[in-house]
Structure 1
Amino acid sequence: MSGQRSGLISLRIRPALLSVLKAGYSRAFLTRDICAGLTVGVVALPLAMAFAIASGATPESGLFTAIVAGAIISLFGGSRYQIGGPTGAFVVIIAGVIARHGYEGLVVATLMAGFFLMLMGFFRLGKVLQFIPYPVTTGFTAGIGLYILVSQFKDFLGLQIGAQSPEFLEKLHSCWQGIGTMQHGAVITGGVTIGAMVLVRRFCPRIPAHIVGIFSSMLVVWLAGLEVETIGSRFGGIPAALPSFAMPHDFFGLAAKVLPDAFAIALLAGIESLLSAVVADGMTGERHEPSTELVAQGLANIASGLFGGIPATGAIARTATNIRAGAASPVAGIIHAVTLAAFMLFLAPVASLIPLASLAGVLCIVAWDMSEIHKFARLLRAPRSDVLVLVTTFLLTVLVDLTVAVQVGVVLAALLFMRRMSEVSNLRLGVAGNGNGELSNDSRIACASSEYCPGEVMIYEVDGPFFFGIAERFLSVLHVLREPPKVIVIRMDHVPTVDATGIHALETFVVHAGRKNIQLVVCGLQPRVRFVLEKLGTLNKLGEGNVLETLPEAMQRADNLALSAG
């Protein structure tokens, strides 16, 4: 698609499907896409229902999401192989929204999240999302994994404890109190599912393990005559009908209440979809278009909310399955959605027979995969600041709220980043003509010759980004000098960038130096830094003739100023 670009906003999107069709779509490609689409459709079927049930929604809402959002992501997305649908990352936040505001509140949050995702795409923020610190993503994914695991205790053990609170500790407490109601049939069913999945992964990794696990458990339930709760007994089955359009009745009344949740959903959807696209690129050698992908994710979530679904994003496991099954283009993702739609229309009664304990077993394996315990344990040996971010994000995800966890984790990581960046920028002080001078603890001497005025001209050099991280240290130079010189030369040859706080610090330095009758000379400004300082009027405050290109020119100017000061 052709588009327009204005400032930071880009309305230009390039769907991968359009690129494939322009390059030529052959019959061989169609054959590969049909096979891959059918395969990933079968894989997505139980997962879509399982994630919806774990989130507190109905199984058909998960299928609606996989059908509607999956088709839109493949139609308009920027990745050639991306498969979209419900994922485990949303379980915590969906459960909380439904518990507080009902399903309609979730719909409103999903619609708003879709809008935010589209804005991210238009503002080309795809690259920015990739800068979310690794300890943050590891912390909240591990927390989500633990939350999903605990949320499956009720169905896996067959506990008769009624509706559960979305709070982690309350879930544990209610399971403990209801342990006496455990049903052995459910435990056997869930155990068979997990055992079959582990064996298939070990000896036949190319076969979808959870499909084998579910069918194995259904066979055991039938042969042994076990009485277990199924999708049909709890939810009354799955409607043999496609999703229909429905607007929320109280959008504006709920919008303000679910705004933080909508931001969290958008952030998680953006991160996971782009991560999935990166994984697909690594497996195929292709390159995705992140801005286009975010716009497609936004459209998909809006459509999912309007057609009875839940939040959606790119699903890493299903995308990888799609690639391994031989997909050639986004058509495979569309066929995957059509496969799910056909199942709902013609085979919905079969899904009603799936034991809930079996789905719980599948989600236990999903939770184990998400937690990535080996990565979590390895990060515990990282620098203490990273460990702090990791553990804080993990605990907040589990004990408080995923929205809070992501916000606090990102802010904490940003603060630590500021601290580290302030350590990257060096401050160097020295008195011209000799190596003596009153130095702060974090400074080093940078000597330069002053032919006429030794000891009366001091060089103050900034090496690295001149930003808020070193502003305070920059201003402290005037306070540590017992005998201020007549002239200070500020050398900025190695300053690649400057921010508003750094500029304010420089201007404050000019004012304070003037009160002490110290003249300032600046040299070595790089073009980018000079442009910013000139645009804000900072160079005018330094005075005409006090901004030089090289250090020798600056030293000559400093000598003249020192001599004239007498």
Structure 2
Amino acid sequence: MFSALTKSLASKTTFSEIQTNVLAGLTVGVIALPLSMALAIASGVPPQHGLYTAIVAGIIIAIGGGSKVNVSGPTAAFVVVLLPIVHQFGIGGLLVSGFMAGIILIMMGLGKFGKLIEIVPYPVIIGFTAGIGVVIGTIQIKDFLGLDIESLDGDYLEKLILIVNSLPSIDWQELLIGGLTIVTLLLWPRIRSKIPGHLIALLLGSVTAWLLSYFSQDFSIATIGSRFHYEINGITGNGIPAILPSFEWPWNLPGADGTPIGLSFELIKLLLPSAITIAILGSLESLLCAVVADGMTGKKHNSNDELIGQGIGNLIAPLFGGIPATAAIARTAASIKAGSTSPLASVVHGLFILGSILALTPLLAYIPMASMAALLLVVAWNMSEPKHFIRTIKIAPRDDVIVLILCFLLTVLFDMTVAVAVGIGLASMLFIRRSITITNTTKIEKNHASYGEMPDSIAIYDINGSLFFGSAQKALQAISTVTPNLRVVILDMTEVNMLDMSAIVTMESIKESLAKQHIYLIISNLHERMAAKLRRAGISDKPDEIQFSGTVAEAVVMANKML
């Protein structure tokens, strides 16, 4: 816990390094400001909640996590998970589920799950991210085209059908501003400017919309100021309230019916699947981001501390109106390129957004919703990584392609809860199957050069690989089939590196079967750790049934004496 901060404080930091980290924090703050608002809107909540997330979670995770340079906040990966929660349980239910996810993340970190999360198969991750990108992109079509749709409810296919049926209601004014924004986003990288492209694109879209509305009364489009309203202490306003995040128990916030959602065991049961999904997805995104950051900086993160830091951040952020957060790869990469070397950059990024709430909220209200949708369309495209998706389909083994496509379809057509469970479950099953195929038993020829000529009454079996619940039966079944004149079976277990309870039970069964046929069993060169497991199970030296030997050559000598 707090390992990134501890390492940074322990190292000698110069004034120049502090200055560089402050500038990196300001740079990534400029990037995170519009993204935080856009991702909150895409998740179904007012934009200020995205800003509160970047402030509270961004600062706390930077201080408490295991990566020096990770920048955390709302991310596109969460949109497909959070939007259904908001529709069903309101913002109160969303923040309660985020609070629960924080507890789960802390438990995962304390349970040393960090390394386990890092080995999630590549096809599973690509399938998830591509599916998330498709869903986010589809949702943004409504605001990008200005379609006359009150709300996009239902599953993905219902939303898609509703969008297609609403295409005749395209608003050319919204499309003009959205198109201008997205063209700027696509062309700006060619200029190779240090100014973030999405900042220029939103600024151009906002100024153009304001000028057109100023010179023409007929020009009117939806903006953050016209779409979102707030009421605080009897004071109402449009857009984003210019107030700091304030403490409030998340269960006191409204549910889907507009009344406080409350806290009950029934609510916890209903939100638990979503909380688990948020925790798993958040851990995947954060540790993947940390691995990418390690490659860019040459440093090494602490995966378990990073999970604990993410958990603390997600535990505290909902108390101040923040939605679930995780490390963001794009923002982290931008921070590193700007010179970030310590958590100070992420802290400064949060403080910059805090200052922006107090100073820039009147201006933020002029940002068009079509421009925000254009920004998210580009984010969705980048997140879906079509080149990697297509390349994996072309070159990956058939099993991996099946996992990829299944995870993609489940994410798009159902939800992330189902996709996470089925995707990781299927990947685990495929791993077990592959492990079974590489575990085998080979019968040694009786004229083997190392052991000399052996009589037909002695059989040697060479067992290779892990003996566990999936492979034990397959690897050991050949031993059960014996010839009439067989009197001694030798098992060469030099290459056996794992033995679980299923394998022990199978060994017991083989021992008993051979004993009934008056056939001796010699287990050769089994690692002491695994031999101790067999002894605890009652499979120990019995001269008339089973013995252990150090080498196969020694076992052959023992077998000849038995005969």
TM-score normalised to structure 1 length: 0.91
Deviation at 1:371, TM superposition (A): 0.5
Q: Distance in 2 between matches of 1:456 and 1:253?
A: 67
Instruction: Tell me which residue corresponds to 1:443.
Output: none
Q: In structure 2, what is the equivalent of residue 459 of structure 1? A: 460
Select between 146-155 and 275-284 the one with higher mean Cα deviation: 275-284
How far does the alpha carbon of each residue in 1:512-553 deviate from its partner, in whole angstroms, 9 at most, with x for none? 222322221111112332233334443357978711111122
**Aligned residue identity for 2:436:** S
| 1:474 and 2:467 matched | no
Structure 1 equivalent of residue 240 of structure 2: 238
Q: Could you report, residue by residue, the CA deviation over 1:467-493 in whole angstroms, capped at 9, with x for unpaired residues?
A: 223222234225544536111111101
Paired residues for 1:121-520 under 5 Å: 121-204=109-192, 206-225=194-213, 226-236=219-229, 237-247=239-249, 248=251, 249-381=262-394, 382-430=396-444, 432=446, 434=447, 448-449=451-452, 454-478=455-479, 480-483=481-484, 485-520=486-521
Query: C-alpha displacement at 1:224, in angstroms?
Result: 2.5
Alpha-carbon separation, structure 1, partners of 2:354 and 2:418: 36
How many Å apart are 1:351 and its aligned residue? 1.0
The answer as to whether partners of 2:541 and 2:547 remain within 8 angstroms in 1 is no
Deviation of the 1:158 alpha carbon: 0.5
Query: CA–CA distance in 2 between the matches of 1:103 and 1:533?
Result: 55
Q: Which amino acid aligns with 1:464?
A: G
- CA separation in 2, counterparts of 1:378 and 1:474? 36
Q: For residue 547 of structure 2, what is the aligned residue in structure 1?
A: 546
Q: Alpha-carbon deviation of 1:448?
A: 4.2
Kindly state the Cα deviation for residue 323 of structure 1 after the two structures are TM-superposed.
1.2
Determine the C-alpha separation between the residues in 2 that align with 1:311 and 1:65: 7
Structure-2 change in CA distance of 1:349 and 1:543 (3 Å): farther
How many residues are treated as equivalent by the alignment?
A: 537
User: What is the aligned-residue identity percentage?
Assistant: 42
In 2: Cα distance, 1:540 partner to 1:154 partner: 74
Q: Is the 8 A contact 2:480 2:513 kept in 1?
A: no
Instruction: Give the letter for the 1:386 counterpart.
Output: D
- Aligned-pair distance for 1:166? 4.9
- The DSSP-based 3-state class of the residue aligned with 2:499 is coil
Shift of 1:267: 0.8
Distance 2:181 2:540 in 1: 71
Q: Gaps (5+ residues) in structure 2? A: 214-218, 230-238, 252-261
Partners in 1 of 2:416 and 2:518 — Cα distance?
55
Q: Do residues 38 (structure 1) and 31 (structure 2) align? A: no
**Cα separation, partners in 2 of 1:133 and 1:543, compared to 1, 3 Å:** farther
Answer yes or no: is 1:560 the counterpart of 2:561: yes
In 2, are the aligned partners of 1:431 and 1:455 still within 8 Å (CA)?
no
Deviation, structure 1 residue 447: 8.4
Q: Which residue of 2 aligns with 1:532?
A: 533
Matches of 2:516 and 2:89 in 1, distance apart?
A: 60
C-alpha RMSD of the superposition = 1.9
Asked if 1 retains the 8 angstrom alpha-carbon contact of 2:93 and 2:271, the reply is: yes
Any stretches of 5+ residues in structure 1 without a counterpart? Answer: 1-12, 436-445
CA contact (8 A) 1:493 1:523 kept: yes
For 2:475 and 2:554, how far apart are their aligned partners in 1? 23
Deviates more, 1:67-76 or 1:27-36: 27-36
Deviation at 1:269, TM superposition (A): 0.7
